[in-house]
Amino acid sequence: MIVVMSKDSTPEQLAVVESRIENRPGLSPQVFQGIERVVVGVLGSIPPDLGDEMALLPGVMEVVRISKPYKMASREFHPDNSIVMIGDVAVGGPDPVVMAGPCSVEDEEQMVSTAQAVKASGAKVLRGGAFKPRTSPYSFRGMGLDGLKLLNLAKQETGLPIITEVMTPGDVDTVARYSDVLQVGARNMQNYNLLDAVGETRMPVMVKRGLAASYEEWLLAAEYVMAGGNTNVILCERGIRSFESFTRFTMDVAAIPVIKRLSHLPIVGDPSHSTGHWYLVTPVALSAIAAGAHGLLIEVHPNPDLAKCDGPQSLTFENFDLLMNQVRAVNSSLSSVPVAAS
Amino acid sequence: MIVVMSKDSTPEQLAVVESRIENRPGLSPQVFQGIERVVVGVLGSIPPDLGDEMALLPGVMEVVRISKPYKMASREFHPDNSIVMIGDVAVGGPDPVVMAGPCSVEDEEQMVSTAQAVKASGAKVLRGGAFKPRTSPYSFRGMGLDGLKLLNLAKQETGLPIITEVMTPGDVDTVARYSDVLQVGARNMQNYNLLDAVGETRMPVMVKRGLAASYEEWLLAAEYVMAGGNTNVILCERGIRSFESFTRFTMDVAAIPVIKRLSHLPIVGDPSHSTGHWYLVTPVALSAIAAGAHGLLIEVHPNPDLAKCDGPQSLTFENFDLLMNQVRAVNSSLSSVPVAAS
Amino acid sequence: MIVVMSKDSTPEQLAVVESRIENRPGLSPQVFQGIERVVVGVLGSIPPDLGDEMALLPGVMEVVRISKPYKMASREFHPDNSIVMIGDVAVGGPDPVVMAGPCSVEDEEQMVSTAQAVKASGAKVLRGGAFKPRTSPYSFRGMGLDGLKLLNLAKQETGLPIITEVMTPGDVDTVARYSDVLQVGARNMQNYNLLDAVGETRMPVMVKRGLAASYEEWLLAAEYVMAGGNTNVILCERGIRSFESFTRFTMDVAAIPVIKRLSHLPIVGDPSHSTGHWYLVTPVALSAIAAGAHGLLIEVHPNPDLAKCDGPQSLTFENFDLLMNQVRAVNSSLSSVPVAAS
Amino acid sequence: MIVVMSKDSTPEQLAVVESRIENRPGLSPQVFQGIERVVVGVLGSIPPDLGDEMALLPGVMEVVRISKPYKMASREFHPDNSIVMIGDVAVGGPDPVVMAGPCSVEDEEQMVSTAQAVKASGAKVLRGGAFKPRTSPYSFRGMGLDGLKLLNLAKQETGLPIITEVMTPGDVDTVARYSDVLQVGARNMQNYNLLDAVGETRMPVMVKRGLAASYEEWLLAAEYVMAGGNTNVILCERGIRSFESFTRFTMDVAAIPVIKRLSHLPIVGDPSHSTGHWYLVTPVALSAIAAGAHGLLIEVHPNPDLAKCDGPQSLTFENFDLLMNQVRAVNSSLSSVPVAAS
């Protein structure tokens, strides 16, 4: 941390800054006398509240934080890519993992037929919502435990492991019993009690990016889970809120290479939620793969127009199959040519 | 709801749209033949998923929703202003209610002295966080139950009712026992299990606007609480996330008159969180009052530079006292002149 | 400027950083050896491109700019408030200056009657668009020179000085001849040729904030005008683009106290464009005044529903008169009580 | 256009709406009596200001626009893809066109060596700025006419046609004489005089998306150029402004398939400006190609750390060559598999 004194600060004010730093165990100040200004470097492991304290001291113009606030999620801490195993499916390696299925579990026929179809096309994980976060209290909010049981029926039929959302700490045990990956939704990315609760399990957890979350806040959400002892974290870019309202959200495709630079955790893309329109899902899915995503989350439904949730952004079986062909083609093209170092 | 057919849609496609509408209990279609296009009005009470179904039918160009998705929170439903009582303090009436106190409860001396100071200056409700949502898992996360007890000590000393945040359904009973208003924080505005849980109480609930929540989503969060049977909802504008990063968030002051037009619920402003800088709190507080806010939420601390949380946006006792004088002056100026009808 | 070296940077990399700084005339490096890192301070007047150069050198982790990129517009450069005179109307002093009139000049009757009405209610400057920036090429784009002449007719009748928009360098001379303040619109805030051109005049220039402009970019737009030798700059907050689309833009009311802190230039608010709805204009106007604005820009039209432009956000004469009463009441309330130092 | 009356509107109010519509030449109202509400359809070609007029009439709750405000730019108007020829290079066809070169022209050696390098790697158009829009008046603002001459020297050496920015109507003739594509920069996307001026030429014009421009506003900017008679318009997605500040802007990759759906005009992507970091350029470039972009705009410099402008986002010759290999690989992979209809 660097504390920048204002031009007209006094030696007494500088002394207060120094003594406040010295008062903290393990920290020491180092003064740097410029021509125009004095700058104080803080040596040692910076506590999170020091910046606020410094910023309020008289004579201080600005406080500049240098080290990142997340540790375990950072690539500095863990230079190699992490691989998160979902059963025997590796997320974070060279092959992108596609997780597909309906927005919400509706009935046995829907789940089993979808599971079989997406497996046949190459999906490795089955998605489906049993507990659904809905903007309106009057929308269909999911089948709950019955939905989890139907997901498991589809798993028995196909062998596909399951990813499903858990919305509240009280449901973590139940959802964990019936699934292979716990999904923390975008609206819960800063539901810290939920992050703590999934951090106490040792299951894979997918942390979707909040609608208005910066990269740093997102990695700090992952850090919550990891600080609980669970390092099996997968990140998911699912679109941020911008001024553009034609698409449901704005897919921030650059998030993929940025996260890969800042962190060792795997990152997947969700073209269904980010766009909100089925006809945009394939091009945006391919863009995520081309940008280096470790996988995709895709909504698929036997009859999108009759879906109880998110029909407009769901693919038919046929279109999902075409998408998978293209994903494979783009992914193999990427590995066919050498890549610039960065 | 209005379904707009595309120019080149066929009579068969129109027939499908009509029959799908007729299949829904209580709905009927009414066809409107324009020169360029056909438009179908849907008569009856529209289910939330109808729009998605219609949008996916062949030949449909656009679906236009007319009625608002929230009911109990809307002014149409309840034309007069609602007054929410916090003990004997009325929120929603002509006198703005100021709720003040520290970001987080730290110790007895801090809480009692702050409660006495803010009461002396005219605050009617004491705020203070015992369960703190923090972006980093390594920041101070609040004193929990011990903090709630210190809040109650300060209440005994001053008689001020208490507002404090509840972060998760499992804590609702405890927090309800030790407080007078349950606060749902911005990051939890779409934590639907929490909204359900506070909706089951009959206590006043303050729903802060999410960082990226539209007016409609915010009113739907209030609707969740009201749908549970709890109509004691207060809304709080606390700044939205924009591209501007000098301020912590962007205070959307127009939200105040907009919400008063769309809804009957009281709305207060939070200049502390929205700006993040103590020197901006007073002008932004006054702007909220001038725009018609029913109250304010203000962070006050005996020694902001030593606060464990949000020091840079906390006012000293002295500056809070000056702020209260100005709030009273601006508020009484508003009632001294006639207002345009709207 | 401070150059932060990465933890694993080498002495050779540090030497390159130092020599690059020494190569620049007037600059010198000062090395600061921390325990974890090395930091290099740059002494002297920093050229704008140095940061980019440093950021790309091997071993450099981050470059931190300390001084602000605008000079003449900064309060450091000019500690006292600037007053900009429009004829004998002072903008930047204790009395807020209201500039009112129609979005676009339409005919003599409209302009003269509006000028008389707004003057009677207390407006000090007449606004009206002759050259209109319109999102669609098929909308009414203004009367041009004929509009300027009608504005001057209204000025002759009422004595009110005129503010009107200039859209392109080639029109600056003409618009300057027929007006008292040159307005640079939000969409032209980074039209640098236009800023240069108005900077060559010595007339008052109002620089509206761009839809997506940060405070710094906005002050740099003012700096363009001032760098041309014209210090008569007024800033205008007119709403930024956010995700909320109920209002036309989002009035960033905190911009008013922020700009007053960073700069000495006067700042006014535009509640008409920021909200887009006439029924929001008065509360948002009052919020701007309460936040310390030096004035307001208000759209007024004899018959808003027949206006050729921006009818929905225009006030009738009657509502404008009520607004002016409230503006005076709020403004005088502010000066009736002592204010906190900041 | 559909005018929705409020529930409590009167027959007299409805009659006024009808008569106002009938007063407009070529328009007629068609009333649709629902159970809850009355809705009025407007038949005929809707003038741009009708919506505002209707919205202000008593009894009107909402006005819903159905047809799009742009015509010539829309795919409805021109169902097949448009191909824009730059010399003999076709933009809009199956092969993506890469336009590469430095941010700003600096000297002969830099321009000629860069032109030769990017040509050797497969670029088809040379970019380089002679008139530079810079946020600060104190930054290097380009070589002007001398820069244009150096661009032409590089063209003579390599045969590559030239794209360069024009900032103001007064420069259009000069820039047109020395270049093959006129670029309208993001900050000038709503500089309507400039759009008019380039619309009067018959040269290819690239319209970059404004930082805060919606798809509709962007297409209306294209419409300005086309309304002047110049249909040779290329669109460029170069990142929008969001709350995320790690990247310079947020690349809205979904814009590519959206624009291809709404419009027949070619669209290219600019990964250099959108990301601001050279190490993000390749993954984001590939994402644009995978999403269906007709080309790319890439900044390349012989020595990025010594560039006078935008060094941090410029590629070296070597990294550009690697990027081109990958672009070709991804592009050919896309055409190797069948695509879903949309």
CA dist., res. B183 & res. B104, Å (int): 14
pLDDT band at D227 (very low <50, low <70, confident <90, very high): very high
Q: What are the φ/ψ torsions at residue B29 (nearest 5 degrees)?
A: -90, 150
Single out the residue of A118, A84, A77 nearest to residue A236, CA to CA: A84
Would you state the pLDDT for residue A219? 98
The answer to whether the CB atoms of A291 and D283 lie below 8 A apart is yes
Residue B90 Cα, gap to closest chain A Cα (Å): 28
CB C320 within 8 A of CB C302: no
CB C263 within 8 A of CB C67: no
Single out the residue of B332, B331, B300 nearest to residue B316, CA to CA: B300
Helix axes C108-121, C145-158, angle to 10 degrees: 40
Looking at chain D, which residue has its C-alpha nearest residue B211?
Answer: D243
- List chain A pLDDT tens, one digit each, 342 residues: 889 898 889 999 999 999 999 999 989 898 877 767 788 888 888 888 899 899 999 999 889 887 788 999 999 889 999 999 999 999 999 999 999 999 999 999 999 999 999 999 999 999 999 999 999 999 989 999 999 999 999 999 999 999 999 999 999 999 999 999 999 999 999 999 999 999 999 999 999 999 999 999 999 999 999 999 999 999 999 999 999 999 999 999 999 999 999 999 999 999 999 999 999 999 999 999 999 999 999 999 999 999 998 889 999 999 999 999 999 999 999 988 877 655
CA dist., res. C218 & res. C227, Å (int): 14
Single out the residue of C277, A241, A242 nearest to residue B258, CA to CA: C277
Question: CA of B281: how far to CAs of A84, B270, D40, in Å?
Answer: 46, 9, 47
**Residues in chain D within 8 Å Cβ distance of B41:** 32, 34, 39
Mutate to test the interface with D, among A248, A259, A330 (most CBs of D within 10 A): A330
Domain boundaries, chain D: 2-64, 84-334
The answer to whether the CB atoms of C34 and A44 lie below 8 A apart is no
* DSSP letter assigned to residue C216: H
Element housing B98 (H / E):
strand B97-101
Q: Are strands C267-269 and B38-43 parallel, antiparallel or unpaired?
A: unpaired
The answer to whether the CB atoms of B2 and D34 lie below 8 A apart is no
The answer to whether the CB atoms of C257 and B243 lie below 8 A apart is no
Pick from A32, A35, A242: CB nearest C243: A242
pLDDT band at C43 (very low <50, low <70, confident <90, very high): confident
pLDDT band at C342 (very low <50, low <70, confident <90, very high): low
Single out the residue of C224, C215, C222 nearest to residue C259, CA to CA: C215
Pick from D32, D64, D243: CB nearest B242: D243
Whether C14 shows a pLDDT value over 90: the answer reads yes
Q: What are the φ/ψ torsions at residue D37 (nearest 5 degrees)?
A: -145, 165
Mutate to test the interface with A, among C28, C33, C39, C245 (most CBs of A within 10 A): C39
pLDDT band at D49 (very low <50, low <70, confident <90, very high): confident
CA dist., res. C291 & res. C334, Å (int): 10
Would you state the pLDDT for residue D340? 64
The answer to whether the CB atoms of A254 and D275 lie below 8 A apart is yes
**Residues in chain B within 8 Å Cβ distance of D243:** 241-243, 245
Whether B132 shows a pLDDT value over 90: the answer reads yes
The fold of the C2-64 domain, in CATH, is Alpha-Beta Plaits (3.30.70)
CB C118 within 8 A of CB C143: no
Whether B24 shows a pLDDT value over 70: the answer reads yes
| Better-scored residue on pLDDT, B155 or C62 | B155
CA dist., res. A291 & res. D279, Å (int): 12
CA dist., res. A242 & res. D243, Å (int): 8
> If you count DSSP H runs as helices and E runs as strands, how many of each does chain D have, helices first?
11, 14
Single out the residue of C321, C307, C319 nearest to residue C103, CA to CA: C307
Mean pLDDT of C7-15: 92
Looking at chain C, which residue has its C-alpha nearest residue D241?
Answer: C212
Mutate to test the interface with B, among D4, D9, D39 (most CBs of B within 10 A): D39
Would you state the pLDDT for residue B341? 59
**Residues in chain A within 8 Å Cβ distance of D256:** 283, 287
Would you state the pLDDT for residue A341? 59
The answer to whether the CB atoms of D37 and B241 lie below 8 A apart is no
CA dist., res. B309 & res. A49, Å (int): 7
Whether B201 shows a pLDDT value over 70: the answer reads yes
Is ipTM strictly over 0.90?
Answer: yes
CA dist., res. D158 & res. D32, Å (int): 65
CB D194 within 8 A of CB C170: no
The answer to whether the CB atoms of C287 and B282 lie below 8 A apart is no
**Residues in chain A within 8 Å Cβ distance of B223:** 136-137
Looking at chain D, which residue has its C-alpha nearest residue B30?
Answer: D34
Q: Are strands D233-237 and D205-208 parallel, antiparallel or unpaired?
A: parallel
pTM: 0.95
Mean pLDDT of C81-98: 97
Pick from D36, D241, D243: CB nearest B241: D243
CA dist., res. B315 & res. B102, Å (int): 9
The answer to whether the CB atoms of D56 and C311 lie below 8 A apart is yes
Using CB atoms within 10 Å of the CB of residue B299, give its burial: 0 to 12 exposed, 13 to 18 middle, 19+ buried.
Answer: buried
Which residues make beta-bridge pairs with A68? none
Mean pLDDT of C315-332: 97
**Residues in chain A within 8 Å Cβ distance of B219:** none
DSSP C3-50: EEEPTT--HHHHHHHHHHHHHSTT-EEEEEE-SS-EEEEEES---TTH
CB D332 within 8 A of CB A337: no
Q: What percent of chain D has pLDDT over 90?
A: 81
Mean pLDDT of B264-276: 97
Q: What is the dihedral of CA B23, B27, B28, B29, to 10 degrees?
A: -90
Residue D51 Cα, gap to closest chain C Cα (Å): 10
The answer to whether the CB atoms of C34 and A43 lie below 8 A apart is yes
Whether B35 shows a pLDDT value over 80: the answer reads no
CB pairs under 8 A between B and D: 46
What would the pLDDT profile of D88-142 be if each residue is shown by its tens digit?
999 999 999 999 999 999 999 999 999 999 999 999 999 999 999 999 999 989 9
CA dist., res. C186 & res. C189, Å (int): 5
The answer to whether the CB atoms of C137 and D223 lie below 8 A apart is yes
Whether C341 shows a pLDDT value over 70: the answer reads no
CA dist., res. A221 & res. A240, Å (int): 16
CATH class of B84-334: alpha beta
Would you state the pLDDT for residue B49? 85
**Residues in chain C within 8 Å Cβ distance of B244:** 214-215, 240, 252, 255
The answer to whether the CB atoms of B193 and A304 lie below 8 A apart is no
Pick from B4, B34, B243: CB nearest D30: B34
Single out the residue of C120, C110, C171 nearest to residue C309, CA to CA: C110
Pick from B242, B253, B323: CB nearest C242: B242
Would you state the pLDDT for residue A49? 85
CA dist., res. D280 & res. C57, Å (int): 17
Residue type, C62: E
Q: Which chains touch B (3 or more CB pairs under 8 A)?
A: A, C, D
**Residues in chain B within 8 Å Cβ distance of C276:** none
What would the pLDDT profile of D55-79 be if each residue is shown by its tens digit?
999 999 889 887 788 999 999 889 9
Tokens representing residue A296 in the block: 């995709």
Which of A277-286, B119-128, C229-238, D27-36 shows the lowest per-residue confidence on average (mean pLDDT)?
D27-36
Whether C325 shows a pLDDT value over 80: the answer reads yes
Residue B194 Cα, gap to closest chain A Cα (Å): 8
The answer to whether the CB atoms of B242 and D245 lie below 8 A apart is no
**Residues in chain C within 8 Å Cβ distance of A61:** 66
**Residues in chain A within 8 Å Cβ distance of C245:** 243, 245
Would you state the pLDDT for residue B342? 58
Give SS3 for A64. Answer: strand
What would the pLDDT profile of B208-257 be if each residue is shown by its tens digit?
999 999 999 999 999 999 999 999 999 999 999 999 999 999 999 999 99
Mutate to test the interface with B, among C121, C211, C238, C244 (most CBs of B within 10 A): C244
Q: What is the dihedral of CA A142, A143, A145, A147, to 10 degrees?
A: -100
Give Rg (Cα) of chain D: 23
What are the residues of chain A with a beta carbon less than 8 Å away from any beta carbon of chain C? Answer: 2, 4, 7, 30, 32, 34-37, 39, 41, 43-44, 61-62, 64, 66, 76, 241-243, 245
**Residues in chain A within 8 Å Cβ distance of D339:** 282, 322, 326
Single out the residue of C116, C305, C281 nearest to residue B340, CA to CA: C281
**Residues in chain B within 8 Å Cβ distance of A57:** 305
**Residues in chain A within 8 Å Cβ distance of B190:** 133, 135, 187-188
Residue B43 Cα, gap to closest chain D Cα (Å): 6
What would the pLDDT profile of C241-275 be if each residue is shown by its tens digit?
999 999 999 999 999 999 999 999 999 999 999 99
Helix axes D278-290, D317-334, angle to 10 degrees: 20
Tokens representing residue B121 in the block: 């200056």
CA-based torsion, B43, B44, B46, B50: positive or negative: negative
